[in-house]
Structure 1
């Protein structure tokens, strides 16, 4: 691989570990109680707080809901004046149940509640999301391929350039219908 060829960054385990420890301490939850509420094993949470393991997107979302924090708080990149993330780079986390990977593009600054993700997905499996925190709204703009997205049972088919907005605090799905499907997802915390 050439030195200038883009590669996907690894999951930022150090950032995730520090954020999980900080946010769990903020809530006053024990390791056992936070794991129980999130539906993950105590050993999984312990490993994540120690900066080990390979967390799935679903595990991290469950922990965010339990700790009442936006997902971006776990991956919050350093603040810079101008930020460019080349295709295939950035802090990405993969789903455990679908060929689906979300890359944080921009974390919401303090005082604002918006996160932006670049999503790569392949046909074959549906990425089903449990409800996020109350009031969350998701905006999806499809940039390549075809997909079905939206509240479970009410999905709409999207083609490049199409936009859909739906409540993220209800069960929702994203299903790639064509190889190389890409989208930008904005999560708004109202």
Structure 2
């Protein structure tokens, strides 16, 4: 459960990005599969969104997940998963780095991220299966596994805890200014 200041900061970030994209509350709520009243509560810092909900909002706002939670100084957790943003690169391509801990017997299914996104996972401790949902790999401690994150993907533990670092690399953005004609 996130505390009030964190929820308020998250809500302001979501609202700011929604408005910057010119989306109404109804448009974003419908796209992300949320009730308009729930999105309104989240933006006001009143709701308690799941990590999945925040990911869906990031996808429909076409923005890195880290941008929505960048000002949150704490760990977010639910359903056996704890996630903390460690660092964010603002260059091109954009890169977010997360620390994640998974409880024993946890399966975390992730929806596709923004087109062109990859994840590189490094297992720090424990045992983990990770990768594209149709191609899960057993990770070895200290070894990297990179996979497409713009398709359904999954993290799965056995009967032990797993700790990992996730590097999310978004697609390189075209340097030309969109919509400007010379």
TM-score by length of 1: 0.83
CA separation of 1:114/1:143 partners in 2, compared to 1, >3 Å: closer, same or farther? same
Aligned to 2:75: 92
SS in 2 for 1:107: strand
| 1:22 counterpart (4, 10, 16) | 16
8 Å Cα contact 1:92-1:103 kept in structure 2: yes
Whole-angstrom distance in 2 between the partners of 1:9 and 1:41: 20
What is the deviation of 1:178? 4.0
SS in 2 for 1:23: helix
SS in 2 for 1:142: strand
Aligned to 2:83: 102
More deviation in 174-183 or 147-156?
174-183
| 1:49 counterpart (38, 43, 51) | 43
Q: How many residues align?
A: 170
Structure 1 unpaired stretches of 5+: 1-7, 79-89
What is the deviation of 1:102? 1.2
Structure 2 unpaired stretches of 5+: 172-182
Aligned to 1:140: 121
What is the deviation of 1:140? 0.2
TM-score by length of 2: 0.86
8 Å Cα contact 2:2-2:76 kept in structure 1: no
SS in 1 for 2:30: helix
SS in 1 for 2:169: strand
Aligned to 1:157: 138
More deviation in 127-136 or 13-22?
13-22
8 Å Cα contact 2:18-2:28 kept in structure 1: yes
Whole-angstrom distance in 2 between the partners of 1:40 and 1:108: 30
SS in 1 for 2:112: coil
SS in 2 for 1:54: coil
What is the deviation of 1:12? 2.0
Whole-angstrom distance in 2 between the partners of 1:147 and 1:111: 30
What is the deviation of 1:159? 2.8
| 1:182 counterpart (155, 163, 166) | 163
Question: Which structure 2 residues correspond to residues 48-67 of structure 1 after superposition, within 5 A?
Answer: 48-67=42-61
| 1:126 counterpart (107, 122, 129) | 107
What is the deviation of 1:105? 0.7
Whole-angstrom distance in 2 between the partners of 1:61 and 1:170: 14
8 Å Cα contact 1:115-1:187 kept in structure 2: yes
